[in-house]
Structure 1
C-alpha cells in the first residue's frame, strides 16, 4: 500500500478513535444523571439581582451572567436542559428544600451553617465589598472602622451575617443593622442617609456603583468565601452529576473562557468541591 494512502487511513483511524472517545466520555457523564432528570428539565432558582453574576437583561428579560453561563455549560456536558427562574433571595433556600427547584444559584456562599440544610458544588471564590455615599462622608476604610455606623445588607445573605459579626465585635458602641429584601433597595437607603455602609457581593459591587454614580466603592475585598450552587440534602445524585459536569467544563477550558468573558478571571476556583466551605 502506498505510504500516502497508509498515512491517510491512519489519520482517519485516529480521527475515528477520537470521535469514539469523545462520545464515550459524553455518554459516561449523561449516565451519571438520575433517571428522573433524563429527558426532563432541571429547574434552577436564582435571585437575579447581582450584575455580572446573574441579572435580568434589559429588553430581553433573559437571566444573564457568569453563573447562568456556567450552569448552561454544565448542562451541555451532562446532556440535560436547565430552566432558570428568578425568585426572591430570602425565599430561595426554602424553595429548594420544598422541592420547587432542583438547584439554587444566587452567588451562594458555601458555609458550615448552610451545609446543615443543603449541599453545595463549589465553583468560585468571592468576598464582600462595602458601598458608601459618594465622597465617603464617614471615612470608611474597611471592617475595622465601622463601629457606631448604621450597616446594611440583603436579608438572609452572608454579607448581612458578616455585618452582624462586625456589629457584635463593636461591643457597647451601638452599631445598628438594617436588612433589606434586595440589594437595590438597600442602596436606596444609602442615598437617604438611613444606612451609612452597605455590604454587597464583591463580584456584583462594581456593577451597582457603575449604575449609581452617587455611590462609591471602598477599596478592598473582605471575608472571601467559597461559593457554589445548592442542592437538597437528599438529591445527591444530581449533586454528584453536576460536580462531574463542572469538572468537565473546567478541564475543557470553557470555565476559564466564561470567567474571562465576564471579567471575573480572579474568582476562579477549580477544585469543584462538594461542601468545601469551612466557615
Structure 2
C-alpha cells in the first residue's frame, strides 16, 4: 500500500472513534514476579495472575471490528482475538468483563482488571495513572461511494469536498492537506463540517461530499459489510498518536509478559494473521511500543 505523509508533523487533537524505554521489569510494581512453569509458559507473570491462572480483561462492546459480540455472547473481534492469542502464549485463561467506557480505566487502576483492551490513545495525561502497550499507529483511508464516481485521487485531494467532524484528527489532516494544495497553486479542499460525525457517510450517499477519511481498520470493516462504499488503496498517515492496551501504572511484570507474548506471536506469524483478517496490517506496530517508546523485550 502507498502511504501519504502529511507535510505538517504536529497535529493537535485526540483520535476520534478513539514512559518506559523498554519492557524490562523492575521499578515500583507492587506485584512480585513469579515463574510461569506451572502454567506451561516460560514467561514470568505477576504473582496474582499466576495464582488465579487468568487475566481479567476490561472490554467495551460492541465497537466493530475492534470488539463485537459473538453468537455465544462472548466478546469477539480484533482486540479479543489478539488478547486470546496472548493469553494462550502466557498459559492463562482470559476473563472478559464488559464495562461502560468511563469505568474501564478506573477498573485497571484499582486492580480489578489486569488489562484493558480497546482503541485508547496513549497520551501523556493518561500515562499519569496507567501504562500502555501500543499496538497501532494512526492511519486513514479515503472512503468514497462505490465505484468512486467523483474520480477521487487519494494522492491529490485538491478540489474535492470531504465531510469531517470539527475538532477531529481527520479534520486537522484534511485542513493541512488543503493548505498544501493552496501553497502549490491548486484548488483548496472543501471541508463540510459535520455536527454528527456519523453523517460522513450520509453526505457521500446524498452527494453533498465526495469522500471522507476513516480509520484504516474501520474502513476495512465498512467496505466488507456495505457495498455502497469503497476505500481507496492509499493510506494517509495520521499524527504520531499510538493506541493500545492499558495496565496499572508501572506494572512492569505484566507489561513485560504481554510484550514477550506479542513478540513470540509476531515471530510465529500469528499476530500478522490476526491483524490481516481485520485489515489492520497497515497500522499494526511491529515491534509494539510501550508508553510510545519502541519495546525491547
Measure the CA separation in 2 of the matches of 1:50 and 1:164. 24
Q: Which runs of 5+ in 1 are unaligned?
A: 1-20
Q: Is 1:95 aligned to 2:108, yes or no?
A: no
213, 218, 232: which is aligned to 1:204? 218
Q: Name the CA distance, whole Å, in 2 between partners of 1:95 and 1:177.
A: 31
Matched, 1:272 2:284: no
Deviation at residue 102 of structure 1 after TM alignment: 5.0
Tell me the TM-score normalized by structure 1.
Answer: 0.64
8 Å contact 2:203–2:209 — kept in the other structure? Answer: yes
Residue 167 (structure 1) aligned with residue 180 (structure 2): no
Question: How big is the shift at 1:223?
Answer: 0.3
| Deviating more after overlay: 126-135 vs 33-42 | 33-42
Give the deviation of 1:98 after TM superposition: 2.6
2:85 maps to which residue? 73
**1:203–1:165 CA distance, 2 compared to 1 (3 A):** closer
Q: Give the distance between the partners of 1:24 and 1:244, measured in 2 at CA.
A: 18
Distance (Å, rounded) in 2 between the aligned partners of 1:47 and 1:187: 22
Q: Which residue of 1 aligns with 2:260?
A: 244
User: In the superposition, relative to structure 1, how do residues 227 and 179 fare at CA in structure 2: closer, same or farther (>3 Å)?
Assistant: farther
Q: Deviations over 1:72-93 (max 9, x none)?
A: 1112233242305375xxxx4x
After TM superposition, give the deviation of residue 161 of structure 1 in Å.
Answer: 0.8
The 2-side partners of 1:38 and 1:242 are apart by: 17
Q: Verify the 8 A CA contact 2:134 2:289 in the aligned structure 1.
A: yes
Q: Between Structure 1 and Structure 2, whose CA radius of gyration is higher?
A: 1
Compute the displacement of 1:71 (Å). 0.3
Give the TM-score taking structure 2 as reference length.
0.61
Q: Report the CA distance between 1:110 and its aligned residue.
A: 4.8
Q: Does 1:45 align with 2:53?
A: no
**Which structure has greater helix proportion?**
1
Tell me, yes or no, if the aligned pair for 2:57 and 2:95 is still in contact at 8 Å: yes
Greater strand content: 2
Q: Could you tell me how far apart the structure 2 residues matched to 1:137 and 1:263 are?
A: 24
Q: Partners in 1 of 2:122 and 2:89 — Cα distance? A: 24
Cα-Cα RMSD: 4.2
1:130·1:200 contact (CA, 8 Å) conserved in 2? yes
Does 1:63 pair with 2:75? yes
The secondary structure found in structure 2 opposite 1:49 is: coil
For residues 13-24 of structure 1, the aligned pairs below 5 Å read 23=37
Paired residue secondary structure (1:187): helix
- Contact 1:120-1:231 within 8 A present in 2 as well: yes
Corresponding residue SS for 2:107: coil
Match of 2:46 in 1: 33
C-alpha distance in 1 between matches for 2:105 and 2:279: 33
Query: Who is 2:13 aligned against?
Result: none
Change (3 A) 1:179 1:230: farther
